[in-house]
């Protein structure tokens, strides 16, 4: 597949790299804000350093994959002498392929951690997805390891070991689907007693937030990889390039979705004592004078009922304090 620039579908070589560079820029922006939420905006709670390290490692892998693919494209298409052969580019191609599969594995672990936190840290719920994720990574790395350098025909794409690659895609899809379903089911059950929709837009917005929190984008990306791999279509390069960045974007956006609940002024943060990014986040916002005393509660997830007895620190906005001062003693209850 794509042995030279005259091969059918050779345009995907440029398109795939261009899209990956663009999505890497998006990934970088999201990663920067996620790091701020996990470190600066989480204070005075303890910083979850393992989560910071895992997300940083995932971002580094996504960045390295983009760099290797771009280097391969520049070295081949920008060569003034002759186009390098597949064997000459085998090191870059093998490295990029391994990084793609490692990024998938790390994103699966992050989603499994999220599911574990949502289900009150019940290991029995995530044991099956964890086993499937390890098996998928074993198949993913076993395939490229068995391919000799002489098998590299194309300077743009690594050869495929179809049985192992198909097993990797199927198991990864099973992990994402299982974890996403468990997270959405749990969130819907926990928020059902306090959830009310005044319009169709509110319902759609709530579903969209659930999709983001559950990482449903990863299910779609993995499904497309499986389809194009089975068809042996050159567009697989485009899908893999997008997926390489989505593996990092989806968990990062999930952290942003949770962290934005504590950023606006006047929010009250209820959190567990455990240092993890998926702690309970709830907010109370006072909008206008007529709405003073009305609460806009946004329940994050998962462990709300387990921490309902915790002490909740009081936090009141400056506008509310000013209103209380202006009201004077007459407004105070007797």
Query: What pLDDT was estimated at residue 1?
Result: 58
CB environment 264-286: b (16+ within 10 A), e (fewer): eebbbbbbbeeebbbbbbbbbbb
Q: What is the pLDDT at residue 197?
A: 56
- Specify the pLDDT at position 18: 92
**What is the C-alpha to C-alpha distance for residues 281 and 301, in angstroms, rounded to an integer?**
8
Per-residue model confidence (pLDDT) at position 295: 34
Six-digit token string for 27: 């990934």
Looking at residue 215, its pLDDT comes to 75
Radius of gyration (C-alpha) of the chain in whole angstroms = 24
d(CA 185, CA 19): 33
pLDDT in tens, 272-291: 443 344 433 333 333 333 33
At residue 158, the pLDDT reads 86
Digits of tens for pLDDT over the chain (334 positions)?
565 556 676 788 889 999 999 999 999 999 999 998 888 877 777 888 888 999 999 999 999 999 999 998 888 887 767 777 878 888 888 999 999 999 999 999 999 998 998 898 889 999 999 999 999 999 998 877 788 888 888 888 888 888 899 999 999 999 999 999 998 888 777 765 555 556 666 666 666 666 666 678 899 999 999 999 999 888 899 999 999 999 999 989 888 877 776 554 444 444 444 334 443 333 333 333 333 333 333 334 434 444 444 444 444 444 455 444 444 544 444 4
List the one residue out of 280, 281, 286, 133 whose CA is nearest residue 218: 133
CA distance 306 to 300: 12
Q: What is the pLDDT of residue 24?
A: 96
Indicate yes or no: pTM above 0.85: no
């Amino acid at each position: 597949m794509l042995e030279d620039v005259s091969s059918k579908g050779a345009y995907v070589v440029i398109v795939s790299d261009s899209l990956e560079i663009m999505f890497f820029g998006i990934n970088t922006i999201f990663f920067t804000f996620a790091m701020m939420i996990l470190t600066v905006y989480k204070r005075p709670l303890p910083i979850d350093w393992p989560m910071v390290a895992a997300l940083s490692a995932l971002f580094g892998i996504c960045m390295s994959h983009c760099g290797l693919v771009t280097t391969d494209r520049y070295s081949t298409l920008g060569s003034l002498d002759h186009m390098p052969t597949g064997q000459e580019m085998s090191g870059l191609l093998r490295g990029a392929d391994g990084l793609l599969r490692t990024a998938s594995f790390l994103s699966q672990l992050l989603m499994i951690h999220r599911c574990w936190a949502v289900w009150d840290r019940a290991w029995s719920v995530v044991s099956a997805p964890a086993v499937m994720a390890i098996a998928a990574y074993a198949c993913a790395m076993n395939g490229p390891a068995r391919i000799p350098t002489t098998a590299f025909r194309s300077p743009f794409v690594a050869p495929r070991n179809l049985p192992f690659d198909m097993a990797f895609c199927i198991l990864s899809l099973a992990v994402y689907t299982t974890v996403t379903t468990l997270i959405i089911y749990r969130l819907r059950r926990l928020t059902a007693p306090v959830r009310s929709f005044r319009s169709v837009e509110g319902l759609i917005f709530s579903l969209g937030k659930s999709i983001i929190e559950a990482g449903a984008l990863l299910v779609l990306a993995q499904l497309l990889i499986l389809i194009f791999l089975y068809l042996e279509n050159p567009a697989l390069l485009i899908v893999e390039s997008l997926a390489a960045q989505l593996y990092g974007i989806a968990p990062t956006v999930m952290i942003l979705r949770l962290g934005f609940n504590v950023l606006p002024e006047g929010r009250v943060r209820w959190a567990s004592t455990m240092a993890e990014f998926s702690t309970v986040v709830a907010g109370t916002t006072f909008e206008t004078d007529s709405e003073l005393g009305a609460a806009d509660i946004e329940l994050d997830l998962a462990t709300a009922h387990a921490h309902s007895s915790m002490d909740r620190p009081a936090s009141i906005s400056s506008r509310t304090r000013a209103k209380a001062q202006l009201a004077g003693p007459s407004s105070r209850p007797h």
